[in-house]
Chain A
C-alpha cells in the first residue's frame, strides 16, 4: 500500500470540487486498496502523477471511476436467492397492473437479465419495467448491450437450474464465438441510466428494489442514507433485496420492514 490515508482524503475532496463525485464516505479500506491496484495496473508511480492525470483529463477520471468501483457480478448469483424471488416475490408482483423494479448498482447487468428471465417465465415481463442504474457509465454501456462472455454460460445454466428454472437456459441467448448475446425481448423492458447513490435522489416509486453487494463498499453513514433513499423509493408492501452479507439490522429504517424469509436477504416494507 503506498497511498497514505491523509493523501487519499485530500485527493477525494478535490474530486468532489472538480467532478462532483463524492467517494469520501466509501469504505476506506476497500477504496484505498482499489486505488493502489489501479496505480499498479496503470503504472502510475505516485499520487502527484495520478492527480495531474485525473485533474487535467475528464476521460482519465472516468477511467479511474470505472476501475476503482467493483464490478464483479454474475447471472443468478446465489441461486437460492432467485428461487426465493420466484416463489415469494414474483407471485405478489404479479398482482400489480404495472411493475416497477430498480436494480441499484447494477454493474454490467447480469442480475437485471436474470430478473427479466424470471419475470418472463412468470408471464409478467410484458407489464414490468426494470430500471437499472450504476455510478459507472462504462458498465452501463455493457449492461445495455446484453452481451456476456460465453465462457460463463455453463455456470449460469447451473445457477439457473438451481434457482428453479425449468427451460433450456441456452434458449435465452445466441452464442457467437466467445460472446453470448441475450434475447432482445428480455432487454426491451429495461431502462439503463447512470445514477449516483451518494448524491442523486429518488426518481420513482418501486415495488421491488434490488441492491446486492453495493452497500458493503460504503461506510455506515452512507449505508444508512442509501437505505433511507430506498425506503423513500419503495411503495408500501414493496420488497427490498440486499446482498447475502448485507442487512437492515440496526438501520434507521429497520422498524418499517419485515424479513420475508430468514435465509434470504429480502425485506418487505410494512409501514
Chain B
C-alpha cells in the first residue's frame, strides 16, 4: 500500500453480519490507544444482543466506544456503533444523522447506507472494511467507496465464518485488499503510525 494512502485516512467504516462479532472484538482489542482516526461500526445483530453489545465492545477497546447520537460531531480516536433499528448517515459537516427509513437488504442499520453516505463526505479519506456475513449488505457500499477514491478491504472469504457477504463484494467491485483478520489488524495498526510501514 502506498504511503500517501495511509497518510490521509480520516474515518474507518467496518460492517459485519453473521459470524463477524468475534472479528469485531479481535479488531477493537488490537487498535492502539493512540489511533488517530474515527471508526464507525455497523453490525447486524439480533435484539437479544442489544443491551450487551455496546458494553462488550467497550470492554475490548482501548478507544472510547459509544453509540452514535443524532447530529453528533464525529471525533478522531473514537469508536462509534450504529444503534439498533436506525440507519446512520453522515452529513457534510461530519456529523451523524439517524434515519428510520425502510430496511435495506433486510437490515437496519444497513451497511450500504452508511458506506455510501460516508463515501460522499470522506472520499479518499475513507477506508471501508466488510467482514463475515450471510447477506448482500455492504457490497454496493464498497463499490461506492472505491468509486470515490477510498480504500476497500474485505475479510478473506477463507477466513470468514460466513463467506457470502465478502464474496458478494468481490462480485460487485474491485476490492483493494482481501485480508485475514490478522492482516486487517495489521492494516489498522499501520494507520496509527502514518508512513511507518
Contacts and interface: CB of A to CB of B under 8 A. Distances in A.
Interface in A200-217: 213, 215-217
B99 A1 contact: no
A165 interface: no
A226 B83 CA distance: 24
Contacts of A5: 92
A34 interface: yes
Contacts of B101: 30, 34, 70, 72
Given A33-B89, A245-B70, A217 B120 contact: no
Nearest to B101: A70
5 tightest Cβ-Cβ pairs between the two chains A and B: A29-B89, A27-B97, A70-B101, A213-B100, A216-B98
A138 interface: no
Contacts of A223: 71
A126 interface: no
B120 to A, nearest CB: 6
Interface string B81-97: 00100100111100001
B116 interface: yes
Nearest to B84: A244
B102 interface: yes
A17 to B, nearest CB: 24
A183 interface: no
Contacts of B100: 70, 72, 213, 216, 243
Contacts of A72: 100-102
Contacts of B69: 245, 247
Interface of B: 69-71, 83, 86, 89-92, 97-102, 113, 116-117, 120-121, 144
A220 interface: yes
Interface of A: 1, 5, 27-30, 33-34, 70, 72, 213, 215-217, 219-220, 223, 243, 245-247
A69 to B, nearest CB: 10
A27 B91 CA distance: 8
Contact of A30 (B92, B99, B121): B99
Given A27-B91, A217-B99, A247 B70 contact: yes
B49 to A, nearest CB: 17
Contacts of A28: 91-92
25 contacts: A1-B116, A1-B120, A28-B91, A28-B92, A29-B89, A29-B90, A29-B91, A29-B97, A29-B117, A30-B97, A33-B116, A70-B100, A72-B100, A72-B102, A213-B100, A215-B70, A216-B70, A216-B86, A217-B99, A219-B71, A219-B91, A243-B100, A245-B83, A245-B98, A247-B69
A70 B108 CA distance: 14
Contacts of A220: 71
Contacts of A29: 89-92, 97, 117, 120-121
A245 B108 CA distance: 14
Contacts of A33: 89, 99, 113, 116-117
A1 B147 CA distance: 11
Given A5-B92, A29-B90, A246 B97 contact: no
Contacts of A219: 71, 91
A180 B196 CA distance: 64
B184 to A, nearest CB: 27
B102 to A, nearest CB: 6
Contacts of B99: 27, 30, 33, 70, 216-217
Contacts of B98: 216, 245
A247 B90 CA distance: 19
Contacts of B86: 216, 245
A216 B90 CA distance: 12
Contacts of B89: 27, 29-30, 33
A245 B92 CA distance: 21
A243 B70 CA distance: 11
A215 B69 CA distance: 13
A30 B101 CA distance: 9
Q: Which one of B91, B98, B102 has the greatest number of beta carbons of chain A within 10 Å?
A: B98
A33 B117 CA distance: 8
Q: Which one of A5, A33, A70 has the greatest number of beta carbons of chain B within 10 Å?
A: A33
